[in-house]
Amino acid sequence: MKVGFEHYLILSALLFALGLTGVLVRRNLLVIYMSLELMLNAANLSLVAASHFSPGHSLDGQVFVFFIITVAAAEVAVGLALIVALYRRRQTAHVEDLTTMKL
Protein backbone atom coordinates (compact mmCIF):
# COMPACT_ATOMS: atom_id res chain seq x y z
CA MET A 1 0.00 0.00 0.00
CA LYS A 2 1.35 3.29 -1.00
CA VAL A 3 1.15 5.92 1.74
CA GLY A 4 -0.39 9.09 0.24
CA PHE A 5 -1.23 12.60 1.31
CA GLU A 6 -4.68 11.61 2.57
CA HIS A 7 -3.20 9.11 5.06
CA TYR A 8 -1.11 11.84 6.56
CA LEU A 9 -4.11 14.08 6.79
CA ILE A 10 -6.23 11.38 8.45
CA LEU A 11 -3.47 10.71 10.98
CA SER A 12 -3.18 14.45 11.62
CA ALA A 13 -6.95 14.72 12.15
CA LEU A 14 -6.91 11.74 14.55
CA LEU A 15 -4.10 13.29 16.55
CA PHE A 16 -5.93 16.63 16.63
CA ALA A 17 -9.13 14.96 17.79
CA LEU A 18 -7.23 13.10 20.52
CA GLY A 19 -5.68 16.35 21.65
CA LEU A 20 -9.00 18.17 21.69
CA THR A 21 -10.66 15.38 23.62
CA GLY A 22 -7.84 15.50 26.12
CA VAL A 23 -8.26 19.24 26.53
CA LEU A 24 -11.99 18.87 27.08
CA VAL A 25 -12.14 15.87 29.38
CA ARG A 26 -8.93 15.74 31.44
CA ARG A 27 -8.93 17.52 34.76
CA ASN A 28 -5.26 18.02 35.39
CA LEU A 29 -3.81 21.18 33.94
CA LEU A 30 -0.54 19.51 33.02
CA VAL A 31 -2.28 16.82 31.04
CA ILE A 32 -4.42 19.45 29.34
CA TYR A 33 -1.22 21.16 28.44
CA MET A 34 0.22 18.04 26.94
CA SER A 35 -2.97 17.53 24.93
CA LEU A 36 -2.61 21.05 23.63
CA GLU A 37 0.88 20.24 22.41
CA LEU A 38 -0.52 17.19 20.73
CA MET A 39 -2.98 19.41 18.80
CA LEU A 40 -0.14 21.66 17.82
CA ASN A 41 1.89 18.74 16.49
CA ALA A 42 -1.09 17.41 14.59
CA ALA A 43 -1.14 20.71 12.75
CA ASN A 44 2.61 20.47 12.19
CA LEU A 45 2.26 17.03 10.68
CA SER A 46 -0.29 18.19 8.14
CA LEU A 47 1.92 21.15 7.23
CA VAL A 48 4.97 18.95 6.64
CA ALA A 49 2.90 16.51 4.59
CA ALA A 50 1.47 19.36 2.52
CA SER A 51 5.01 20.59 1.92
CA HIS A 52 6.17 17.19 0.84
CA PHE A 53 3.30 16.52 -1.54
CA SER A 54 3.19 19.96 -3.06
CA PRO A 55 3.96 20.05 -6.82
CA GLY A 56 7.41 21.73 -6.68
CA HIS A 57 8.39 20.21 -3.31
CA SER A 58 8.24 23.68 -1.85
CA LEU A 59 9.91 23.99 1.59
CA ASP A 60 7.58 26.75 2.84
CA GLY A 61 5.51 24.39 4.99
CA GLN A 62 8.59 22.91 6.67
CA VAL A 63 10.00 26.35 7.46
CA PHE A 64 6.65 27.23 8.90
CA VAL A 65 6.75 24.18 11.17
CA PHE A 66 10.17 25.18 12.58
CA PHE A 67 8.73 28.53 13.48
CA ILE A 68 5.78 26.87 15.17
CA ILE A 69 8.07 24.58 17.19
CA THR A 70 10.15 27.54 18.32
CA VAL A 71 7.16 29.58 19.34
CA ALA A 72 5.57 26.54 21.02
CA ALA A 73 8.75 26.02 23.07
CA ALA A 74 8.59 29.62 24.28
CA GLU A 75 4.90 29.21 25.02
CA VAL A 76 5.52 26.02 27.00
CA ALA A 77 8.08 27.83 29.10
CA VAL A 78 5.59 30.57 29.96
CA GLY A 79 2.66 28.17 30.37
CA LEU A 80 4.51 25.77 32.69
CA ALA A 81 5.78 28.69 34.74
CA LEU A 82 2.19 29.86 35.14
CA ILE A 83 1.03 26.41 36.16
CA VAL A 84 3.77 26.14 38.75
CA ALA A 85 2.95 29.57 40.14
CA LEU A 86 -0.72 28.63 40.25
CA TYR A 87 0.00 25.39 42.04
CA ARG A 88 2.13 27.13 44.65
CA ARG A 89 -0.63 29.57 45.36
CA ARG A 90 -3.62 27.19 45.30
CA GLN A 91 -2.07 23.85 46.06
CA THR A 92 -3.99 22.34 43.13
CA ALA A 93 -3.72 21.91 39.37
CA HIS A 94 -7.25 20.69 38.78
CA VAL A 95 -9.41 22.85 36.54
CA GLU A 96 -12.68 22.29 38.42
CA ASP A 97 -11.11 23.95 41.46
CA LEU A 98 -10.08 26.99 39.46
CA THR A 99 -13.42 28.75 38.92
CA THR A 100 -12.78 32.27 40.24
CA MET A 101 -13.81 33.68 36.83
CA LYS A 102 -17.37 32.65 37.62
CA LEU A 103 -19.85 35.52 37.72
Secondary structure class of 102 (helix, strand, coil): coil
What are residue 28's DSSP bridge partners? 94
In the list 23, 30, 68, 83, the residue contacting another protein (rule: CB under 8 A) is 23
* Residue 60 vs 97, nearer CB to another protein: 97
- What is the spatial distance between Cα 41 and Cα 50, in angstroms, rounded to a whole number? 14
* Residue 56 vs 99, nearer CB to another protein: 99
In the list 9, 18, 20, 48, the residue contacting another protein (rule: CB under 8 A) is 20
Chain CA centroid to CA 82, Å: 17
Note whether 89 binds another protein by CB under 8 A.
Answer: no
